[in-house]
Chain A
């Protein structure tokens, strides 16, 4: 099963502007971006990102063992948003940024902390795709849980359809 992610340039810029803001105590920011499913060739799926939610400063937890940790209010908000997005099969993606250039992947902390959120999202929005997106300074990577499947599938590419088209391919530098 092949999966790709697309977003507009305007949404990409909005995400960037938020994630690069310094936080009062967290070392990085986290956000939620929402996406709907499209069918691509050979049974593959597209995830088309629709809107971004910046997590308020107060919803972070001061935890020096990780770069950023969000609290229960942020998670509750995300779960409610998934619930309300059920008619449109709109799922949620945890998104953050790594501050270096080139293709990026999940860090050890990312692997430990973020994938366990997916079953919760799937239990609320079972017909939607949920996942993880990590941007770098000039690239982006995504992993998607498709409906009815708990496995995170790596995306073949993340494309930005903006005033400048960007195609971030898995296994290739930007």
Chain B
């Protein structure tokens, strides 16, 4: 890459380009959120990716799947293929390991990442990703959006950074037993959730900003957690009120030594 390409982002630091190029980012889920994420990562200069998606483009995806065209819906192009092409068009030398399956079916490559950016649909999916990230030492950045209400719809969403050693999504009171139980109770009856392109874009952009800060440290904020609540009707992102007092909180849900492959101990 030429120095000119990154001239406008030189404020990230003298060695930012090299730092960014060395980091491996995992993106499980390349739909509405994930497609925004990988595009921005590629623009910034990330070179190493571990991608997962087992789905193909459908017409109902075209309202938000960045990089997908009408012909992809006709051809049922895999979302993984769309993502790979998007990255390679911006970073021809990128190293992409892509898997047309759910990450749980082939978790080993994901473990090599330093940062995982998840845009999954369910609380359970988020919880599983966070567990994997804690056990194999990876930052987890989560994004998600939802639309509530009928006559007066309300768009809400979140961006969360859950880092090893820091407060987790349960500490931040994003994941709760009630939410997980409610979701489990309606298993199989969730239906298609409303999704639109602009909240995904706003959430993904902010999440990528967090990732770039983790790699370059350009803001000097030294963050070990974040929970930003998105109000899509007002167009605002604000720190969640559930973070009040959390800086003194020690995570009780993940131990510092609960790392690596689980070991079975004979009783």
Contacts and interface: CB of A to CB of B under 8 A. Distances in A.
Contacts, number: 91
Candidate in A9, A36, A38, A88 with the most chain B CB atoms within 10 angstroms: A38
B171 interface: no
B257 A161 contact: no
B43 to A, nearest CB: 19
A-B pairs, top 5 by smallest CB distance, nearest first, are: A36-B260, A48-B259, A167-B22, A6-B137, A163-B222
A50 B257 contact: yes
A86 to B, nearest CB: 10
Contact of B260 (A7, A37, A51, A164): A37
Nearest to A88: B263
B260 A48 contact: yes
A87 B214 contact: no
B223 A88 contact: no
9 contacts: A6-B136, A8-B137, A36-B259, A39-B111, A41-B97, A50-B259, A87-B263, A163-B163, A165-B215
Contacts of A38: 111, 135-136, 259-261
Interface string B243-267: 0000000000000110111010100
A155 interface: no
A57 to B, nearest CB: 26
Interface size class of B (residues with CB under 8 A): 20 to 34
A87 B216 CA distance: 38
Contacts of B114: 159, 161, 165, 167
Is the contact region of chain A dominated by helix, strand, or loop, or is it mixed? strand
A18 interface: no
B232 interface: no
A169 B222 CA distance: 23
Given A40-B111, A46-B136, A163-B222, A8 B265 contact: no
Interface of A: 4, 6-10, 35-42, 46, 48, 50-51, 87-90, 157, 159, 161, 163-165, 167, 169, 172
Given A40-B111, A163-B214, A167-B114, A8 B263 contact: no
A41 B112 contact: yes
Contacts of B109: 40-41
Nearest to B256: A50
Interface in B20-58: 22-24
A165 B115 contact: yes
Interface string B1-28: 0000000000000000001001110000
Given A51-B257, A88-B257, A161-B139, A8 B165 contact: yes
Given A163-B214, A164-B214, A41 B115 contact: no
B217 interface: yes
Contacts of A10: 165
Contacts of B22: 157, 167, 169, 172
